[in-house]
Structure 1
Amino acid sequence: MLSHIITYSKFGNLFCGVEHTSINGQEKLYGLLLKKKKDEFLVEKTFKSTDIDKLIDFLPKNQPLSLIINNEKVLFKSVHGVFDAQKALALAFPNLKKEDFYYEVSTAKSDTYIAICRKEYVDSLIEEYQKESYQIVGFSLGNLAIFQLAGFIEDDEIYSSNSSIYLKNGAVESISYSNGLQSNLYTINGLQVASKYILSLAGILNYYVGHKNSVSNFSTRIDKLNDNFKQQRLFSILLKFGLAFIFVLLLISYLFFSSYTSKIDYLNAALELNKTDKNTLLKLTDAVQKKEQLVKNFSLSSSKASWYLAQVGKLIPASILLSEIKYQPLVKNAKEDEEILLEKYNIVIKGKSSDNVEFSKWVKKLELQDWIDKVIIVEYGADKATTTKFELQIKITQ
């Protein structure tokens, strides 16, 4: 079940959670990296560090991370009884200036747990990660991320890096601080994870399915972090695609140009040897010039193609995966000495969609673009149980 949930994310094949905790007054970083292989998730590595700038020894740059902030900067309290977030905050921290703090609240069977941390510290921590080229996509305070993982834990008692957690029937009963010296190994949904990395695993799950078991005042902050990450990822993908596309066009241009330049050189030499072939040579030269102009047109259209593809890319939702995109495709395969015919002002897009509603919204957004004349759905049919193949034809406004 846990692997099945994470499978639906679109963030590569590496999933990482990092916990900031305090052991005997010393700052520790405990990290867990999961890797997707085929249809299952495996523990790629666990790692310990004392500084963010040392994570380069364990993680690739631009790796998305889910943070657990569980050190001395976090104040953690419980109140007996089940209360809503605002009531619990008032009971636990009656003089709290809410505008200065991030807070997170979770409820157990008979108690409510509250964790708070200054916004200034959390934001500066996120900024440190960003300076090291890591993408923070979510965070949680104290041990409260464990509420997300509780349903997958079969043990009645587990230990995190600094607390003992009691569970019953897949729900948290109580959380109390411990000395952090316990080092137990747990099997959670097929993944073997040591106690020090339990919250890192919970952080990964917490982000990819959302904060369903807690109430906080930083959901907007997390949404902004997610948007920034998705935009950077989309830009990176489109940039690589665009550069590859331009390179292919330039390579084709070079091959065409080299080929026809050689023909011109040959014909010029023949002209010197045999004046009677002048008319033939002129005809061939004219043909070559036309083809050279075609090559130039290819080069000039590359910038337009990149712009169109970028505009399409901005509108693609996460539920759609492209398999093919063609700008002004060939009408038919070109043969020797025949004119190369293109479907001008056309873009063909093929791929798969896992959400019919999102697909329809996407098509409507495309139809509203000023540069698009109309969008034709050429094909839309089931591929697998969860995905649907599609083919679109976009008519560009002339």
Structure 2
Amino acid sequence: MNNSLKYGKNYAVINHILNNNSEKSFLSYCSTASLVKNEFQLTTNAIVSSSKELERILKKIKHAYIIISSDKVLIRKIEKPSNNSISLLDKAFPNLNKDDFFYETLEEGNYVFVAICRKSEVIEIIEFYKKYNIFCINLSFVFFKTSILKKVLPENFIAGQFSIKTKQQIITNYEYVEDITDLDTKYKIGEDLINSVFLPNVCAFSVYFEKAIDPDLETYLSKNRTHAIQNKILKTGLPIGLGIILFILLINTIIYTHYFNKLENLKINQQYEIAKLNNYKSLEKEIDSLNHDLLQLNNKQLYPPSYVINRIIAVVPTSISIFNLSYQPILKRIENNSSIQLKKNSIDIQGNTSDPTSVSLYLNQLENEPFVSEVKIKNFQQKDNTYTFYITLQLKHEN
């Protein structure tokens, strides 16, 4: 699944400056962009200092890349170790309880910059933005991602709240700048003039989907990515699901009216019983023909139906209840003088769960089965704390 299908077309980078996570007081530098043909096109840059501004700027955004530049982030510059006997984190911060911190590293020449922040602080910031329905799918610290553009920037440049010093295209030092009024500097990046305040944001777009260096942070972010994808499915899937339900109800009404009128006409017809008997005989022939076709079809299948059904049931997570499983379901109702039509090489599965993540797990299990060629989500909807799904499996078969 490509990124547009996973996350949509609207993206954002939020550079979180203040470590005050109350809704009434905070400061963030926000940039938004749209993803067009796998390239980000910058749409908005804004300095946000209130919850109303945040909602206005990010009203179409459901996820973001967050940069934390608050004073809770600690940075150390160390010499690059000559061997791997000691980790960069241990050398920069001896006796640190690593279980309490997330970290990021930036290698520059013979030196390494190491940034750390308490996990509780990071999670608190992420949860703050989640109140506005914005899921953090990637995260970095301070100016580290700005190193991507150091070759096209002057020796001394400003990135967000930091003044960066370089020598021969290597970052040698940095300084935190308190007063934002001193940061009104612009740099030409390609054809665009980018304000120094938003330079880290622009760089973050180029690594939006990369994994975090810290394994613990990557594990935490991967859960957020799953929640962001599920949230997108729920937001877009519910209206589609309601439309499908209304369409099915309309079709059922038309079919019901047709058969009701036909039944009334048959009651008037004196030959109703004879016609009914003939219809039954015709139906028996159709069923015999169908059994013959099914036998031939089963002989051509790569896997017997019993094996397929057993595997589908075996990989169902314990939190999921399956209430309907149809093997090669009928495409439409049986009509007079017409053949029964089946949806060949197909299985419909309907179930419910209180844990939406188990649906994703079940889909992954099914996609890995050797007899499955495609998994399609027909419907996914939530009512109270119950999630109901309807999926169709397309089976592999011999030509």
TM-score interval for Structure 1 and Structure 2 normalised by the shorter chain: 0.5 to 0.7
Report the Cα distance in structure 1 between the residues aligned to 2:233 and 2:69, rounded to whole angstroms: 32
Q: Secondary structure at the match of 1:207?
A: coil
Q: Secondary structure at the match of 1:342?
A: coil
Report the Cα distance in structure 1 between the residues aligned to 2:249 and 2:167, rounded to whole angstroms: 65
Contact 2:10–2:60 (Cα < 8 Å) also in 1: no
Q: Secondary structure at the match of 1:66?
A: strand
The CA deviation at 1:170 is 6.0
Contact 2:69–2:141 (Cα < 8 Å) also in 1: yes
Report the Cα distance in structure 2 between the residues aligned to 1:35 and 1:126, rounded to whole angstroms: 22
The CA deviation at 1:187 is 3.5
Distance 1:53 1:94, change over 3 A: farther
Contact 2:138–2:209 (Cα < 8 Å) also in 1: no
The CA deviation at 1:363 is 8.2
The CA deviation at 1:222 is 2.2
The CA deviation at 1:362 is 8.3
Contact 2:153–2:187 (Cα < 8 Å) also in 1: no
Alignment of 1:31-180 (within 5 A): 31-38=30-37, 40-51=39-50, 54-60=53-59, 63-79=62-78, 81-83=79-81, 88-147=88-147, 149-150=148-149, 153-167=152-166, 172-178=171-177, 179-180=179-180
Report the Cα distance in structure 1 between the residues aligned to 2:372 and 2:64, rounded to whole angstroms: 38
The CA deviation at 1:35 is 0.8
Length-normalised TM-score, structure 1 = 0.63
Q: Cα deviations across residues 147-168 of structure 1 (Å, max 9, x unaligned)? A: 3x33674544431221122456
| Structure 1 gap ranges (5+) | 1-5, 272-276, 292-307, 316-326, 349-360, 368-373, 378-391
Report the Cα distance in structure 1 between the residues aligned to 2:251 and 2:154, rounded to whole angstroms: 62
**Percent same amino acid at aligned positions?**
22
- Residue matched to 1:222: 221
The CA deviation at 1:66 is 0.9
Matched, 1:365 2:364: no
Report the Cα distance in structure 2 between the residues aligned to 1:262 and 1:285, rounded to whole angstroms: 20
Q: Secondary structure at the match of 2:123?
A: helix
- Paired residue type of 1:133: N
Distance 1:150 1:88, change over 3 A: same
| Structure 2 gap ranges (5+) | 20-24, 284-308, 317-326, 349-363, 375-392
Q: Cα deviations across residues 148-198 of structure 1 (Å, max 9, x unaligned)? A: x33674544431221122456765444332344222233434554321112
- Residue matched to 1:279: 271
The CA deviation at 1:236 is 5.7
Contact 1:53–1:132 (Cα < 8 Å) also in 2: no
Report the Cα distance in structure 2 between the residues aligned to 1:190 and 1:27, rounded to whole angstroms: 32
Report the Cα distance in structure 1 between the residues aligned to 2:255 and 2:277, rounded to whole angstroms: 14
Contact 1:186–1:195 (Cα < 8 Å) also in 2: yes
Q: Cα deviations across residues 254-282 of structure 1 (Å, max 9, x unaligned)? A: 221123334445666xx3xxxxx422598
- Residue matched to 1:258: 257
The CA deviation at 1:337 is 5.2
Contact 2:11–2:34 (Cα < 8 Å) also in 1: yes
Alignment of 1:379-394 (within 5 A): 393-394=394-395
The CA deviation at 1:227 is 3.4
- Residue matched to 1:298: none
Matched, 1:14 2:10: yes
Contact 1:42–1:191 (Cα < 8 Å) also in 2: no
Contact 1:30–1:48 (Cα < 8 Å) also in 2: yes
The CA deviation at 1:32 is 0.6
Distance 1:154 1:255, change over 3 A: farther
Contact 1:106–1:215 (Cα < 8 Å) also in 2: no
Alignment of 1:232-311 (within 5 A): 232-233=231-232, 243-265=242-264, 271=268, 277-279=269-271, 283=275
- Residue matched to 1:197: 198
Report the Cα distance in structure 2 between the residues aligned to 1:154 and 1:347, rounded to whole angstroms: 57
Report the Cα distance in structure 1 between the residues aligned to 2:51 and 2:114, rounded to whole angstroms: 27
Distance 1:248 1:339, change over 3 A: farther
The CA deviation at 1:67 is 0.7
Moved more, 228-237 or 101-110: 228-237
Paired residues, number: 315
Distance 1:263 1:218, change over 3 A: same
The CA deviation at 1:73 is 1.7
- Residue matched to 1:206: 207
Length-normalised TM-score, structure 2 = 0.62
